[in-house]
Structure formats: C-alpha cells, structure tokens
C-alpha cells in the first residue's frame, strides 16, 4: 500500500524556495526584483499543482525566523510583498479551490501582513482542491519549543499527565497541526540542507535538491522532482 502511494505521487509537497537573491544578482538587478520573481514562481507552482497533480497539500518556506537578520529595507519590502499577495490573490485562491494556511509566528509580523493573512485564510477556508501552507516567520526549532511549552502548560494545569505526552500530542501543537507530514521536500538553488524547516515533520520525507534558482523553477523542474520521488523505495523502517 505504501509503495503504491509513493508511485502515485506525494500527497504533501514542501518547498524551500531558495535563490531569489542570486537570480537577481546574475541579472544585474536589485534583490527585491528576485523576491518579486520568486513570488510569481510560487503562484505558478500552486496553480500547476492544483490543476495537474494529485498533491493535496503544498507548504512553501517564505520567510524564516533567521531572515529577520536581513537588512531592514529588504525585510520591509518582503512584508509589503506578503501583504500584497494575500490581498491581491485572495479571490483567485477562492476560484482555484485553495485553502490558505499560514505557519509560524504570525504575531511577530507587521499588522498589515497579519490582517491580510487572516482575511485570506477566512475567505479561503472552504477551499477543497488544495491546502497551501505559507511558512512565515517560521523556524523548525522554535516550532517544537513552542509546542513543548504549550504541552507543559497543559500538564501544569492538570489537563493532561506526563504519560500522555506522546508524539501525536506534540504534533497536535505544531503550526502544521491537521496537515500530514510532507512526503517530498524540494530545495532549489543547489543548496543541500533543511535550514531549520519542518524538522519534526521531515522525519520520513524524501529530499530532492534542484540546481535551478527558485524564480526559474517551473512545471518541468517540478515534474523532474516528482519523477525522482516515484522512483524511490519508501520503506519507513520496514526493511
């Protein structure tokens, strides 16, 4: 059964969208041009998966907790870009059957981004074709720590015992609660690391690294990743 599922394709695809800055630099453009091109690539991928693939979930790593260390002007541009995306693409997401989620420290984002994201999530909550999970101000270690703190407070209040602290209980407190773990994690631009992305959820994910810079990543690149996934033997510790 598991082998059949692997051959049919991943149910959940997660992407570390890397290479916007290098894409811009290679064209003599400012970094913000790379970020805008990267946003178009994200739209292209969501549309293609929703129309042509069997995947029901897509998680996109858009802004990490470490990204707050970038220059203030770049952060400001990215925050405006996120707010713009949530506002301007909301109706399109509804038409495409997208259910939008945002994973990460939402309260750390500017109010404009928080409001636009919450509005888009409300408007798209009935979407049934595909769940799009945007990781914003997200870090895997912080996510696990956040979940542990929430569980610890429940133990302190007597709502649960230490013996009830199971993997399932912890997973239920993660930002991705209710979303299955990723089957396939793609990273673009030739880098080969997870960079603090979905550390708990990636336990049995297949990893695929593409040399393509994210703004250039298109349907053909995705199909190559999916072909590689289907050729893998996912044993999950059985052999």
pLDDT given at position 238: 64
The residue ranges of DSSP E strands in 28-153, in sequence order, are 57-64, 98-103, 130-138
160 found inside a domain: no
Whether the pLDDT of residue 137 is over 50: the answer is: yes
Nearest CA to 60 out of 76, 41, 77 is that of 41
Confidence (pTM): 0.93
Whether the pLDDT of residue 1 is over 50: the answer is: no
55 found inside a domain: yes
β pairing state of 57-64 and 12-16 = parallel
pLDDT digits (tens, 9 = 90+) for 31-46: 999 999 999 999 999 9
How many folded domains does the chain comprise? 1
pLDDT given at position 7: 56
**CATH code at 72?**
3.40.1180.10
Mean pLDDT of the chain: 94
pLDDT given at position 100: 98
Q: What's the average model confidence in pLDDT over 141-162? A: 96
The single residue of 67, 80, 181, 196 carrying the catalytic annotation is: 67
162 found inside a domain: no
Q: How confident is the model at residue 207 (pLDDT cuts 50, 70, 90)?
A: very high
∠ CA 11-15-21, rounded to 5° = 165
Whether the pLDDT of residue 80 is over 80: the answer is: yes
Which position has the higher pLDDT, 7 or 137?
137
Whether the pLDDT of residue 56 is over 90: the answer is: yes
How many beta carbons lie within 10 A of that of residue 210, not counting itself? Answer: 22
Q: Which residues contact 154 (CB under 8 A, 6 or more apart)?
A: 160
The single residue of 3, 4, 18, 183 carrying the catalytic annotation is: 18
Q: What is the DSSP letter of 237?
A: T
148 found inside a domain: no
State how far the Cα of 150 lies from the Cα of 20, in Å rounded to an integer: 35
- Catalytic annotation on 233? no
Q: What's the average model confidence in pLDDT over 101-105? A: 98
Whether the pLDDT of residue 6 is over 80: the answer is: no
pLDDT given at position 233: 86
Q: What's the average model confidence in pLDDT over 21-38? A: 98
pLDDT digits (tens, 9 = 90+) for 165-194: 999 999 999 999 999 999 999 999 999 999
pLDDT given at position 4: 43
pLDDT given at position 5: 42
Q: How confident is the model at residue 3 (pLDDT cuts 50, 70, 90)?
A: very low
Domain that holds residue 25: 2-140+184-230
- Catalytic annotation on 18? yes
154 found inside a domain: no
């Amino acid at each position: 059964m598991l082998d059949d599922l692997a051959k049919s394709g991943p149910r959940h695809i997660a992407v570390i969208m890397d290479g916007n800055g290098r894409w811009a630099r290679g064209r003599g453009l400012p970094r913000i041009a790379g970020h805008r091109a990267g946003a178009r690539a994200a739209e292209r991928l969501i549309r293609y998966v929703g129309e042509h693939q069997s995947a029901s979930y897509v998680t996109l790593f858009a802004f990490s907790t470490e990204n707050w260390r970038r220059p203030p002007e770049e952060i400001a541009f990215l925050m405006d870009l996120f707010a713009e995306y949530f506002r301007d693409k909301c109706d399109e997401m509804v038409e495409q059957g997208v259910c939008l989620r945002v994973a990460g420290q939402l309260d750390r984002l500017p109010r404009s981004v928080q409001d636009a994201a919450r509005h888009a999530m409300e408007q798209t909550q009935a979407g049934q074709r595909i769940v799009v999970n945007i990781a914003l101000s997200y870090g895997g270690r912080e996510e696990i720590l956040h979940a542990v703190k929430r569980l610890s407070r429940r133990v302190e209040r007597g709502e649960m015992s230490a013996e009830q602290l199971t993997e399932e209980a912890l997973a239920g407190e993660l930002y991705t609660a209710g979303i299955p773990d990723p089957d396939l994690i793609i990273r673009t631009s030739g880098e080969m690391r997870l960079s603090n992305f979905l550390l708990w959820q990636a336990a049995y994910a297949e990893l695929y690294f593409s040399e393509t810079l994210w703004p250039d990543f298109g349907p053909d690149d995705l199909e190559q990743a999916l072909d590689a996934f289907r050729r893998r033997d996912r044993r999950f510790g059985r052999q």
